[in-house]
Structure 1
Amino acid sequence: MLDLRRLEILHRFAARGTITATAAELGYSPSAISQQLAALEREAGVALLERTAQRANLTDAGRELAEHAGRILAATEAAASRMRVRAGTVAGRVALSCIPGLAPVLAPHLATLQRDHPELSIVAHETGAPTAAAAVLDRSYDLAVIDHWAAEPPAQVSGLVAHHLHREEIVVAVPVGHDLAERPGPVTAARLRDAVREETWLCAPPGRLSRLAGDERLAAADASPLRRWEFEGLHVQAAVVATGTGLALLPAELAAEHATITALPLSPRMHRTIQALTRRTASEDPAINACLRAARVALDGR
């Protein structure tokens, strides 16, 4: 009989590619992971890894067993979720991730949920949206709260369920008293082009979803900022705007948290959507669904 926990280690190793990365994710030492994989080889009766002085690679048999392991773990998870539904209790461990900036919004509600259900253990992390889907699929997380800034929702990922949580307007955030706020009406392409020519433009580093969406809006307006400051995290950008330094595209609800920011609507309008991703095999799990409800309440109450 193949040990289920060792199959999970093999599955993680196949996804991560190295024993060191697998050990770091699972909280074990590299030697412990090597020992567990060696024990799985003895159970399987065939070599699963090719080892060199520098690294270990899966053999053909190892890759085949890792594929079987993925299906076995999915079936086990679906069965366990169904039993928890029958039991009707919110219990067990839920590993959750959220995009930067949302932790202060979600944390109080998740903490309350944990207090209300003593048998529930929530482990929360912060991670970016581009890597969240893969992390949920390989069971690093059970639930990931992400955002997307495109007008159309991203394509569905096989094996995942996307849950709509919240939609919010994106505005041009300017310091109180800024000339742009003195003229009534939304910020058109022409007004945006004039503004960024004279001001410092605050944005995320290249590759971030907010940066891609912002650059697309600037390109559509033929606007080229002369001074661009890049910061991780929308909360950081908002804090800088609030000091009177620069302009940024920010969620309206975030801009509203600062008394020294004026939020100006865009024309045409711009929005971001916040979603949660869960595995299809765990979509009925009462604990995961309780966390989903808590996230939705937290975001609706901002």
Structure 2
Amino acid sequence: MLDVRRLRLLRDLARLGTIAAVAQAHTYTPSAVSQQLSALEREAGVALLERTGRRVGFTAAGRVLVAHAETVLAALEETTAALAAIATGPTGPLRIGAFPTAVRTLLPATLVALGDRYPGLELTVTELDPVAVPAALHERRLDVGLLHDYDVAPVEPDPALDAVPLLDETVFLAVADAPGTDPSGVGGVPVAGEDPLDGVRDLPWIVASPGTLCHTVTLHVCRAAGFAPRVRHQADDFATVLALVAAGQGVSLVPQLAAVDPPAGVRLLPLRTRRRTRVAYRRGAAAHPAVAAFVTAIRAATGDVLAR
């Protein structure tokens, strides 16, 4: 009989690439991970890993077992969900991961609704960049999490996770509505032609930190319009971005959820680009009462926010 905990370590080795990374994810020592994988090989009765110096690869049998491990772990999630459904209602811990804009706009009403209807739920929110959510779900630090991507920069789905659509947003070009004190004259941007980007190609930009999805999307959108943005400021919080735009410090791209209540002096010009947000959870967990309750509650909260 194969040990499920060891199967999870093998799956995570395929996902993370090194024993050291697996050890860090599970708060084990690398030696402990190696011992557990060796024990899994004895259980399987066949070599699963090929070791060349410090590098570890998978044998053909190892690759087969990794593929089946995903099925086994998903089946366990389904079993857990089925057992939880027998209870009187959603109870116990529900660990939620979400990006800052969603924490500020969508989660307050979601948490209130869940707390009122299901007092047995123990709700915990962690603010996370969407790129960190899949790993947190894999490592069972989260039960549900919000992911997003853009139509111009799609993200490949994770085979170990399931997700349902939550929100499809317009992305806006944020510009100053009136001249500010900045001598560059960013305020009162003229918008030429049908494409708002035509009027800002020579202006300074406020962009997210390099390596983030928002930074990648800004570069992609600008290059598709035929120019490279002249970066003046870097900021990851959209409230900060909009404040800088209002102060005449540059222009920026802002998704609809972040532009629900823009400061005075900011004009929002819709672009063709879309941001897509999904609720993600481990494969097999869709029927878990707590997960299903969260999906229902956050969809209702999202509808209310957009209606306002």
Q: State the TM-score bracket (shorter-chain normalisation).
A: 0.7 to 0.9
- Structure 2 matches for 1:266-285, cutoff 5 A? 266=270, 270-285=273-288
After superposition, give the CA deviation of every residue in 1:145-204 in whole Å (9 maximum; x if it has no partner). Answer: 1233328987877675442222333333233523888699x874466433342x311223
User: Structure 2: which amino acid aligns with 1:195?
Assistant: V
Query: What's the TM-score, normalizing by structure 2?
Result: 0.74
Give how far 1:284 is off: 1.4
Q: Distance in 1 between matches of 2:212 and 2:259?
A: 19
Structure 1 distance, partners of 2:123, 2:138, is 20
Of the structure 1 ranges 2-11 and 253-262, higher mean CA displacement relative to structure 2 is found in: 253-262
Task: Answer yes or no: is the 8 Å Cα contact 2:130–2:146 preserved in 1.
Answer: no
Percent identical among aligned pairs is: 32
Question: Normalising to structure 1: TM-score of the pair?
Answer: 0.75
- Work out which of the residue numbers 292, 295, 298 in structure 1 matches 2:295: 292
- Residues in 1 aligned to 2:115 and 2:20: alpha-carbon distance in whole angstroms: 32
| Alignment counterpart, residue 199 of structure 2, candidates 191, 194, 199 | 194
Q: Pick from 127, 130, 133: which aligns with 1:128?
A: 130
Alignment of 1:23-42 (within 5 A): 23-42=23-42
In 1: Cα distance, 2:224 partner to 2:49 partner = 52
Alpha carbons of 1:221 and 1:10: their partners in 2 closer, same or farther (altered >3 Å)? Answer: closer
In structure 2, stretches of 5+ residues that fail to align are 180-184
Match runs of 1:1-302 below 5 Å = 1-51=1-51, 54-109=54-109, 112=112, 113=114, 116-118=118-120, 120=122, 122=124, 124=126, 126-129=128-131, 142-150=143-151, 161-178=162-179, 188-189=193-194, 192-197=197-202, 199-205=203-209, 208-215=212-219, 217-219=221-223, 221-222=225-226, 225-266=229-270, 270-302=273-305
Measure, in 1, the Cα distance between the counterparts of 2:231 and 2:154: 31
RMSD of Structure 2 on Structure 1 (CA): 3.9
What CA distance in whole angstroms lies between the structure 2 residues aligned with 1:183 and 1:243? 13
- 1:50-101 CA distances to partner (integer Å, 9 max, x unpaired)? 4566354444433333333222112222222222223353235555433454
Provide the rounded CA distance (Å) in 1 between the counterparts of 2:93 and 2:47: 33
Cα 1:223–1:275, aligned 2, differ >3 Å: closer, same or farther? same
What are structure 1's unaligned runs of at least 5 residues?
A: none
Aligned residues: 298
| d(CA) in 2 for partners of 1:190, 1:256 | 22
Contact 2:97-2:126 within 8 A present in 1 as well: yes
| Distance of 2:163 and 2:245 partners within structure 1 | 33
Q: Secondary structure at the match of 2:24?
A: helix
Distance 1:181 1:21, change over 3 A: same
> Is the Cα–Cα contact under 8 Å of residues 205 and 252 in structure 2 kept in the other structure?
yes
